[in-house]
Structure 1
Amino acid sequence: MSRSWERKVRRNSTVINRQRKKSGAQSIAGAVQRVDRFKGRNFILPVFLLLFTGGYAYLATIPAAAPEGENVTSTGMFWLTIGCYFLLAMLFFFRRPYLSVAKDYVGTRRMTGDKTLYASSIKSISVQPGYVVIEQVKGANWVFSKAINRFPTEAMAERLRAFAKENNITFHEKAAK
């Protein structure tokens, strides 16, 4: 079967299962697909935002920074700005990055939203200690790092090895030195 047909069947099965769930009926078994999701933790950007917010608050308290006679820290806009930066840091901390691997696609969350990359769009997969790189035919590489985003790269490498074998994708593995 072609992959486009599989996607149509999966999409239609999902819609039917959603309708059946609302009416209280049992779902059909055809829509079940194994999707492995590997979650990381984003901590660098939230820490940077908190440090930036702290620096902003510190500079606002210096008397020479404010125009004569004004107290910047007593305005509501100052505290709203501090609160918004804090909320943005919390958003990035709790919105965990992930890599999901299914039968014929991989997916992840980027700054612009969730992205899906089908097997036909993957040029190669490279694995080295602490890093997993998915190279696209067209576009930027997807890099997953243990140091930056706390991804379980060893488990990801095992699953991506099986994914590459199923879909005839070049798989490179570099050993530790």
Structure 2
Amino acid sequence: MSRSWERKVQKNQTVINKQRKKQGKAPLMATAKSTAEPIDTFKGRSILMPAFLVLFTAMYVILTLNSDNYKNSGKMFWVTIGLYLFLALVFALRRPYMAVGKDYIRSRRFGGDRSVYKANIKAITIQKGYVIVEQIKGGNWVFSRVINRYPTEQMAERLRTFAASQEIPLNEK
């Protein structure tokens, strides 16, 4: 939705809630962002995947230019090189993150943004340089300082309070 539409909806909602308040009725929905839950977001930096793609592209160019098949490759060779470099740029600019809400943890995975709610979290493990969210069903989410440059110390502090408030087992190694 566009922002102007959201503003119109919020404005109309405020007017209706004022009318309902005068009539002694409960408001339809909370209007402002004041009732929105605080979400702590920790962003990392993807370095390994873009570096791998650039090195793979360089190897591909070197091997192809030194072969006899280069003369037959045409424009598609350079389109392929450009697309690999574009993919490396996309991975570099699309920063990985972990967001901790009231009762969920959200992260960017290869398939898009995913959330895991407190009912699906088996345990949270905190190690030096690593934070691991163990799920009941599905693979564990590993947030690493080495691979994706996450601020694991800050994440560990927030996840300690999250685990305590949601009664999730917390393992520290």
Question: Is the TM-score greater than 0.5?
Answer: yes
Partner of 2:137: 138
For the pair 1:39 / 2:43, whether they are aligned, the reply is yes
Q: 1:122 to 1:62 in 2, by over 3 A?
A: same
Matches within 5 A, 1:15-164: 21-22=7-8, 25=11, 27-29=31-33, 31-64=35-68, 66=69, 70-72=71-73, 75-164=74-163
Q: 1:18 to 1:32 in 2, by over 3 A?
A: farther
Partner of 2:164: 165
Question: For residues 154 and 54 of structure 1, what CA distance do their matches in structure 2 show?
Answer: 36
Question: For residues 81 and 6 of structure 2, what CA distance do their matches in structure 1 show?
Answer: 47
Structure 1: which 5+ runs fail to align?
1-14
TM-align CA RMSD: 2.1
Q: 1:144 to 1:18 in 2, by over 3 A?
A: farther
Q: Give the TM-score normalised by the residue count of structure 1.
A: 0.80
Question: For residues 106 and 140 of structure 1, what CA distance do their matches in structure 2 show?
Answer: 14
Q: 1:97 to 1:29 in 2, by over 3 A?
A: closer
Please tell me the residue identity of whatever aligns with 2:50: P
Please tell me the residue identity of whatever aligns with 1:21: R
Question: For residues 23 and 169 of structure 1, what CA distance do their matches in structure 2 show?
Answer: 38
- State the aligned residue count: 154
Superposed displacement of residue 24, structure 1: 6.8
Please tell me the residue identity of whatever aligns with 1:164: A
Question: For residues 142 and 63 of structure 1, what CA distance do their matches in structure 2 show?
Answer: 42
Superposed displacement of residue 138, structure 1: 1.1
Superposed displacement of residue 31, structure 1: 4.2
Deviations 1:135-173 (A, max 9, x none): 011111000000000000000000000000110000111
Q: Give the TM-score normalised by the residue count of structure 2.
A: 0.82
Question: For residues 96 and 142 of structure 1, what CA distance do their matches in structure 2 show?
Answer: 16
Structure 2: which 5+ runs fail to align?
15-30
